[in-house]
Amino acid sequence: MPRLIFLGAPGSGKGTQASLIADFYSIPHVSTGEILRCAVLNQTPLGLQAKLYMDRGDLVPDQLVVALIQERLNNPDVKEGWILDGFPRNVAQAEFLDSLLSQIDQPYDYAVNLEVPDDVLAGRMLERGRSDDTEEVIRNRLKVYREQTSPLIDFYSKRKKLAVVNGDQIVEGVTVELRRLIER
């Protein structure tokens, strides 16, 4: 069963594809964004802290997200494979993840980058209309992505773990390419 890290800018379709692929292989879709949104809705202590950052389109502090992912990846249901969506988001998180995965003996297969041109990204985000999808917040999320998350492309490329998939095609087209990558 696959163990994949999904990279890609906000609006790249990473959440949609992560969910489809996780369903297809019946493995957990671990989305830090979803877990955080749920914590915000339930007004947990984590949610109350995270909301301030999410509303602005900034990254939630590493220490909060790292604790969350550590707990999630130690759950027995992820033993047979998983899709990580939205984590890591910066180099410090990627380094943490590397050491966590070797500690629990769960090496990942690939970090998949869904490539989508910049002008397509903003349009897609405005269409989906999530509460953190207003124009100003979108602009900040793209900036945060460029500054903090996009260096991960290099990070995984250097480790020979990067797989690039064209995300600028219909949903089914992307899914087919991903399944081909997993099954090769």
Interface residues with ligand AMP (CB under 6 A) are 10, 32-33, 36, 53-54, 57-60, 65, 86-87, 89, 93, 141
Measured from the CB of residue 69, what is the shortest distance to ligand AMP in angstroms? 7
Closest CB to ligand AMP: residue number? 33
Which residues does residue 112 pair with via DSSP β-bridges, in sequence order? 6, 163
Q: How far is the CB of 183 from ligand AMP (least distance, A)?
A: 26
Nearest approach in angstroms of CB 135 to ligand AMP is 15
For the bound state, the minimum distance from the C-beta of residue 2 to ligand AMP, rounded and expressed in Å, comes to: 19
Put the strands of the sheet holding 162-166 in their side by side order: 29-31, 82-85, 3-7, 110-115, 162-166
Q: What six digits make up the tokens of 94?
A: 């990627």
Measured from the CB atom, is 56 or 161 closer to ligand AMP?
A: 56
Work out how close the CB of 181 gets to ligand AMP at its nearest, in angstroms, rounded to a whole number: 21
The smaller minimum CB distance to ligand AMP, of residues 84 and 162, is found at 84
Task: Output the DSSP codes for 114-172.
Answer: EE--HHHHHHHHHHH--TT-SHHHHHHHHHHIIIIITHHHHHHHHTT-EEEEE-SS-HH
Nearest to 86 by CA among 23, 47, 37, 154: 37
* Cβ 66 vs Cβ 24: under 8 Å: no
Q: Closer CB to ligand AMP, residue 39 or residue 162?
A: 39
Token output for 146: 């460029």
Output 144 or 163, the one with its CB closest to ligand AMP.
144
Measured from the CB atom, the residue of 65 and 182 that comes closer to ligand AMP is 65
